Amino acid sequence: MAEPRLYLGGSFDPVHLGHLQSIEQLRQQIGLSNAVLIPAKRSPLKNQTHVSDQHRLMMLQLALTDYPQLHLDTREVYRSTASYTILTLQQLRVENPDSSLIFAMGMDSFLELNRWQHWRQLTDYAHLVVFSRPNYQPQLNPEIQQWLAPHFCQQISKLHTELCGQVYFTELKPYNISSSEIRQRLAQGHIDPEVKANLPVQVYNYLQQNSLYGLTPLEKP
């Protein structure tokens, strides 16, 4: 069987080091040579993104120049409808009939999984890998908990030997900043040292050059 294919979806609004280093940790834990980021056009459970799709894609492309093992899949950005993960997984399964597919998500997303379109069928097409900070003990919705029981997996090897159907939980190094917090700080008109430290250099420069998320023209280099 071909090497499993690992995907991480999200708005990446903007992409930051937490995104990149989380998918890198997962890639290494699972033992894969590559991984793929799938930016969403618009999540059905979130408001509109805060900059154009073109800006988000450009920031991702710039961020990935230092991560040759990470790749970009833009299918959701160019889809005419909202970004339903089930549609993406169905497409990926058709394209990769003989590969294990692994879709990664944070625990916060998993706790709302029963709000996703056709959520019970996600594991018909892929494995789910759910990551959280160390020692986090979530309270699962009873509906999700009941669904999870037959899919729960504790062996990484199953992600390699089975095409789909498993839900694997793991812990990653926590990152104490989010895209929403970065946007809030940028809206004050400047980039503070903590925000700068959590952005790839190329993304930081691009934000300044294009005055994104409320940065003032005075902040341009």
Residue 85 maps to which CATH number?
3.40.50.620
Q: What is the pLDDT of residue 219?
A: 44
Report how many domains make up the chain: 1
pLDDT of 215 > 90? The answer is: no
Domain ranges, residue 10: 2-176
Residue 101 lies in a domain: yes
Residue 72 lies in a domain: yes
Q: What is the pLDDT of residue 192?
A: 85
Residue 204 lies in a domain: no
pLDDT of 45 > 80? The answer is: no
Residue 119 lies in a domain: yes
In the predicted model, what is the mean pLDDT of residues 131-142?
90
Token duo for residue 133: 């900070």
In the predicted model, what is the mean pLDDT of residues 126-148?
94
Residue 55 lies in a domain: yes
Q: Which residues contact 29 (CB under 8 A, 6 or more apart)?
A: 156, 170
Residue 11 lies in a domain: yes
Q: What is the pLDDT of residue 43?
A: 58
Residue 51 lies in a domain: yes
Taking phi first (over 0 means left), then psi (-120 to 50 degrees means alpha), and beta for anything else, what does residue 20 get?
A: alpha
172-186 pLDDT, tens per residue?
998 878 999 999 999
Return the SS3 of 49. coil
Residue 194 lies in a domain: no
User: In the chain, what percentage of residues exceed pLDDT 90?
Assistant: 77
pLDDT of 46 > 70? The answer is: no
The CA distance from 37 to 67, in Å, is 12
Q: Among candidates 172, 94, 149, which has minimal Cα distance to 126? A: 94
106-133 pLDDT, tens per residue?
999 999 999 999 999 999 999 999 999 8
For the chain, give the mean pLDDT: 92
* pTM for the full predicted model: 0.92
Q: What is the pLDDT of residue 101?
A: 98
User: In the chain, what percentage of residues exceed pLDDT 70?
Assistant: 94
pLDDT-based confidence at residue 220 (cuts at 50, 70, 90): very low
Rounded (to 5) percent helix, strand, coil in the chain:
45, 15, 40
